[in-house]
Structure 1
Amino acid sequence: MAKTSWKPGNMIYPLPAVMVTCRDKGQDNIITIAWTGTICTNPPMTYISVRPERHSYEMIKNSGEFVINLTTKQLTRATDFCGVRSGRDIDKFKEARLTKEEAQVVDAPVIAESPVNIECKVEKIVPLGSHYMFMAKVVNIMVDDDYMEDNGRFALEKTNPLIYSHGGYYETGKKLGTFGYSVRKKKKRKKPNGRKK
């Protein structure tokens, strides 16, 4: 199999395209982020990486809090809009027609249309070059009751999660397996009894 060598770069795709909300000095803003993910399970920690020239950078740095709002197919246009317009000039909630609600633990807004709102408190800011990483502890999660199943499972896949890859937005496809399915023992089928009642 022939392969071409490229210069070093970020080729870890796809990624979640999320809208991060923040508040500082009475002003609220939304920034679209693709550089985000899980750092640790216990304690639950996540991160976002932000360019220092972005309007939300100083807001998050000053407040030490933010909310990661997961996005869906229905939020594609708003997600893109909030990534290409600056909160210095406009009210993104208003322009993107998003509903603002209050977080439960942090002092920041959440996007009501998002199926999952992950409230975060900054633990450390790491300068990396083009971006600064905000390492944060997850302090609360709000989920949409419409996607809760009877057994208490949250069916995130039913929200049509939005992902980002090489400058494009995509919806997720069909389920191919579950964690550990490749080594899980197959259940033996019960043979018919054959006995007459």
Structure 2
Amino acid sequence: MSKINWKPGNMIYPLPAVLVTCGNCKDNYNIITIAWTGTICTNPPMTYISVRPSRHSYKIIEETKEFVINLSNEKLVRAVDYCGVKSGRDIDKFKEMNLTIEKAREVEAPLIAESPVNIECKVKEIIKLGSHDMFMAEVVAVNADEKYLDNNNKFHLDKSNPICYSHGTYFGLGKKLGTFGYSVAKKSTKNKKSKKMRKPTKK
């Protein structure tokens, strides 16, 4: 199999496309779409976002040292795109996208009520890298929409129809291919999981 040799670049796709909210009062609340984000530590729970210094939200986060990662889904895909191409210097993105402001528990930055999960973060360090600076942050609270909880209080994010971003295009996540550990699970365990996944037939 032949492969083309490209210059070094960021080719780790697909990526999450999240709505990051920031600000400490209604006068400076803003939303920025971020794809450069992810988990960096389990204990303590830590995450990051990388932002261009030229972006309007950069200065807000730098000053307040707080932000909220609002996970997105298919219903929010238009807002995800809009908040990535429009600047909060000129418009109120909450108003333009009809998004509902909700008060956070541990930070002053607002939550987006329509998001299935809101992750409240406090910045621990800002690392200057080049085109983007990385805001390393500790997760101080997580807010999950209870309608995605089952009877055993297990959270099913897949039921919210999450989206991802790859090379300029937004995608739904599609069908489930396997669960963690399925490649090494014993046959009896696989069969049990398979039965659980099957829908009950109507009699």
TM-score interval (norm. to shorter): over 0.9
Q: Which residue of 2 aligns with 1:70?
A: 71
Q: Which residue of 1 aligns with 2:172?
A: 171
1:18-33 aligned at under 5 Å gives the runs 18-24=18-24, 26-33=27-34
Q: Which residue of 2 aligns with 1:195?
A: none
Shift of 1:152: 1.4
Any idea what the Cα deviations from partners look like across 1:55-98, whole Å, max 9, x if unmatched?
Answer: 00000000000000000001010110000000000000000111
Q: Could you tell me whether the CA contact under 8 Å between 1:24 and 1:62 is conserved in 2? A: no
The residue type equivalent to 1:18 in the other structure is V
Structure number having the greater helix percentage? 2
| 2:182 is aligned with 1:181 | yes
The residue type equivalent to 2:4 in the other structure is T
- Number of residue pairs the alignment of both structures matches: 189
SS in structure 2 at match of 1:53 = coil
TM-score with structure 2 length normalisation?
0.91
Structure with larger Rg: 1
Gaps of 5+ in 1: 190-197
Counterparts of 2:99 and 2:24, CA distance in 1: 19
Counterparts of 2:21 and 2:103, CA distance in 1: 11
The residue type equivalent to 2:104 in the other structure is A
Indicate the percent of aligned positions where both proteins have the same amino acid: 67
Q: Could you tell me whether the CA contact under 8 Å between 1:73 and 1:171 is conserved in 2? A: yes
Q: Which residue of 1 aligns with 2:119?
A: 118
Q: Which residue of 1 aligns with 2:15?
A: 15
Counterparts of 1:74 and 1:182, CA distance in 2: 33
1:77-156 aligned at under 5 Å gives the runs 77-156=78-157
Q: Could you tell me whether the CA contact under 8 Å between 1:69 and 1:110 is conserved in 2? A: yes
Q: Which stretches of structure 1, 4 residues or more, deviate above 3 A after TM superposition?
A: none
Gaps of 5+ in 2: 192-203
Q: Which residue of 2 aligns with 1:49?
A: 50
Q: Could you tell me whether the CA contact under 8 Å between 1:24 and 1:60 is conserved in 2? A: no
TM-score with structure 1 length normalisation?
0.94
Any idea what the Cα deviations from partners look like across 1:148-177, whole Å, max 9, x if unmatched?
Answer: 111111100011001000010000011111
